[in-house]
Structure formats: C-alpha cells, structure tokens
Amino acid sequence: MSIELKNLVEIEEQKSLSVAVELTSKKNAPKLQSFAHGVDQNNWLLIAGTNEGLHNLNGNYASTSFLEKAFNQNIYVYDVSKDLSISITIEELEAIINSNFKSYSSILKEFITVFRNTNSLSTQVGEYLYIAGGYGPESFTGKSENYITYNQIAQIHIPSLIALVKRDYVNVDAKNLFAFGSHSNFAVTGGELLHFNDTFYLSFGQNFGATAQQGQKYADAVYPFTLTPSFVKYGLLINMQCSAISDVEYPTLPSSDTSSIFRRRDCPIVPSLYKNPTNNKIENGLAVFAGVFKAGFPPAAWSDAIYIHPTFKNNSNAKRYTQDSAYNQNNYNVYTCPNFSLYESKDGKDIQHTFLIGGIGNGKLGFTNTALHIQTNMAELKSTSSVIENVFDNPIADKKYFGSEAVLIPNNKLVRFKNSETSSSSEIIDLKETLELDSNIKIGYIFGGIESDKKNPQGGQGNTQASNKIWKVSVSIDS
C-alpha cells in the first residue's frame, strides 16, 4: 500500500507523489534504540543505545528506569544485503586494542563510555562517525551509582572499526581508528549533531543527571564548532565559535531554562535549506519541529518550529534563527523519529518537503503510526503540515506502533541538492534530479527504535521493546 499525498507535487497534470513504508523480511539485525550508527556501503556500524523499550516513566532513572543491563554492550556490524549481523563486546574491543593497537589503550579507557551510552548525538561525515554526549552510569561498575550526561566526543573511522569487529585487522587504519575530546558544551543528550559548511552544529537537548545544574539543564542553544587534531595523541581540539545561536544571551545559565524557546529535547531536528534574502542564494541550515518540554508544570510539548540559518540574519530581529510561531504541529510527531527531506522549485517558489515518520505524539495521542508531511517555504520561512494516517504498511502495524527513536538510513544513490554557485552540498534530496534517474525512488531503510504494544503504554516498560524491524521507504509517481 502507498499513501497518496494529495497536492504534494504535481510533476505533470494529474500526477502526484506517493510514499510507501513497507516491512522487509530481514530479521537478523539487533534490537536497538537510541543508538549511534555509521554506514559503509552495505555495512551498518551500530554502537551504544539500549536493547530495551521505553524507559520507566514513573521510576527513579538510575535505579529503575535506565538499568545498566539495558545498555547495549556490543558493537554490531550488520550487512543489510545479506541480513547478517556480527558483533564484539566492549570488553572484547578493549582486549583487541590492547593486543593489536596498543597506542590507543590509554585514551580508549578514558572514553570507553562513548561505546556504552544511550541517546547520544551523532552524525557521519565521509568515512567518519562522530558521537557526542549521551547518558548513562558514571563508570558502569554494576553497582548503584551516579548517572550523568557525558561531555565527550569521538571521531571513529567507520571502515576501520567494521574491519576490527570482523577481526580483519589488516584493513584497520591504525593511524585514524579513533580520536577523542571533551568540552562542557558536549554534556548533552536528546539533541542532534549536524554537519554542513565544514562546521558541526550541536543542537538542542539537555544535560541530565548528577552533574547537571539542578539535576536538569537544557542546552537552550545551537553550538557551532569545528574539530582539529590536538597536541594529545589521538586527541581532538574543539574550536567553539564565539557565540551560540540562541534567544538568550547566556544559555548556559540555569535561568535560561524558564524563558528560552530553545528549551527542547528529543525532538525532530532536521537538515534544512533556506534562501538568503541578501543574495537570494539557497544555503544550508537546520530546523526543529515541535519538541518537549516547555517550562512549568504540567509539562507541555511545543507545537511551533524554529529555523536555524547560520549564514544570515533575519529581517525581523537580526538573529540567526527564525521562530515560526504560526506553525502548529498539533502534537503529532513531537519526539525523535525517522525523517527525510526533498527540495523542489515550483511556480517560482523554493519548497522543502520534510517527512517525519512514526513515533510519539504528545498527551493523549501517544504512539500514532502516523507520518507528518511538512512543507516549508524557504524564502518566507513559513511551514504547513498535514498528517498521513497508518503509514506503516503491514498487518503488525494494526497491533503495534513504530518509529520513535528509529533512524532512516538513506540510499547512497540519491541525488542531493547542491548550490550551483557555491558547490555546497546538503542532505536534502533534489527531487527533480532524482526523479530523472528513476520514477520510483528508494529513499532508504527505517531501522530500530521503540515498538509498542499499546498506544499509551502505562509507565513505559513492559509494553514496549527495542525493535529490529527494517522498513523500506520509497517515493514514486502516481498517474
């Protein structure tokens, strides 16, 4: 079954696009959610996260909600073409390093929680996976201890770690396998790490746990930074830009939490394109749609959008962001879920189509199995959205719910939008160019996340589990 998106894009008269999300027969991937991942051809490198479902919403996080046994203690390599999974434990990783790549032994021990945390921020740039922040026990001793948000970042050479997991040590690049660093701004969980314009953007999220101010402190900002090798062997030098992108002057202060519109975590944060009003060029940015939570009690979700455009300031308040307060997401898809975006130029307007697939709504909505189609006018910085019901095409979706904390692993043959004047590429699919290659576009795979037996599971645990389902996502033209 394909879900017709009426009035989405009329390629020719009486033609429109349809999106299909279909369950594959693949069954040998591990059950994971809130993990980090990198891709090398058909191999998926899967690190950290948890192998259980939704945490206990009513319990003490350290003693009953995030038990150490739930944290993923393996590094997986999953071959999607062969439906084959192999893994090593964290202890085996340390033993392999100590035996075969001893120069990494000391720094790996210092940053080993990179491979054990959950809900970190990660992104892939070329052959490297970057993992920042994340949440978990302070030292993983197996005893009751402080839980913290880690202030770390790791650079991992994906092909080399895949070779290491396969015990193919000859193909490990011993000079570039790992690099690590730390910074107070990296103490974030439930945000996103994006990369464009040769810059990383540490976006939204919160510091939660024993070392956080008052036990919980939202990032209240987007932090642009770059990385270079440091004087420490296998170390990273973090070069934070002078000012964070935020609506408050000092986002690190506790008081910012009660006033900032950036007070959001665990929400859809997506790469975006915007038209610079000073030169009419299309430039890279990011957007956050909805998210949780507003200050105050009871907690309420956001339903608006914020557009981050680092290369220009808007005309209304001379800021590098614009709040679209008129946009209303109506509490759908307010938590992290798989997403992809397409660019089209239509009737003289530049439009970005963003799709949020599955996940959780706020309040009574619970798990929904819906998708959200968001259309953003890239010049006016305004969006509208529409709900797509029952997007997961399989009988099991009549009884279970999917998408929260899952990821979309894109097809590497998609044509990405590239600014012709600057040659700056993006993660946004160029609709026209891609359709010229194939009228049935394979967007990629949705993998992992939380699957729930109930729309509103009481407390979270017991009615949910980590998923190993793999869904194929495609877009096609209907006559």
Query: Quick one: pLDDT at residue 227?
Result: 97
- Tell me the C-alpha distance between 48 and 61, whole Å: 18
* R_g (Cα) of the chain, nearest Å: 21
The strand pairing partners of 74, in sequence order, are 89
Query: Quick one: pLDDT at residue 46?
Result: 98
- Tell me the C-alpha distance between 107 and 215, whole Å: 28
Where on the phi/psi map is residue 181: left (φ > 0), alpha (ψ -120 to 50), or beta?
beta
Residues 98, 139, 161, 204, Cα dihedral to 10°:
-150
Kindly provide the b/e burial profile for residues 406-423, where b requires at least 16 CB atoms within 10 angstroms of the residue's own CB. Answer: bbbbbbeebeebeeeeee
CB 156 within 8 A of CB 218: no
- Tell me the whole-structure pTM to 2 decimals: 0.94
Ordered per-residue pLDDT tens for the chain, 479 residues: 344 433 333 333 334 667 789 999 999 999 999 999 999 999 999 999 999 988 876 776 666 777 788 899 999 999 999 999 999 999 999 999 999 999 999 999 999 999 999 999 999 999 999 999 999 998 887 776 789 999 999 999 999 999 999 999 999 999 999 999 999 999 999 999 999 999 999 999 999 999 998 899 999 999 999 999 998 999 999 999 888 999 999 999 999 999 999 999 999 999 999 999 999 999 999 999 999 999 998 889 999 999 999 999 998 889 999 999 999 999 999 999 999 999 998 888 999 999 999 989 988 899 999 999 999 999 999 999 999 888 887 777 668 999 999 999 999 889 999 876 555 568 999 988 888 777 788 999 999 999 999 888 876 667 899 999 999 999 876 65
Query: Quick one: pLDDT at residue 14?
Result: 36
Query: Quick one: pLDDT at residue 144?
Result: 66
Distances from the Cα of 184 to the Cα of 10, 181, 238, 279, 327, angstroms: 48, 11, 11, 36, 33
CB 432 within 8 A of CB 353: no
Please identify, in words, the CATH class of the domain defined by 35-118+120-265: mainly beta
- In eight-state DSSP terms, residue 252 is T
Question: CATH 2.120.10: which residues of the chain?
Answer: 35-118+120-265
Burial, 352: exposed, middle or buried (Cβ in 10 Å; 0-12, 13-18, 19+)?
A: buried
- Tell me the C-alpha distance between 63 and 67, whole Å: 6
How does pLDDT run across 285-343, given as a tens digit for each residue? Answer: 999 999 999 999 888 999 999 999 999 999 888 999 999 999 999 999 999 999 999 99
Query: Quick one: pLDDT at residue 461?
Result: 64
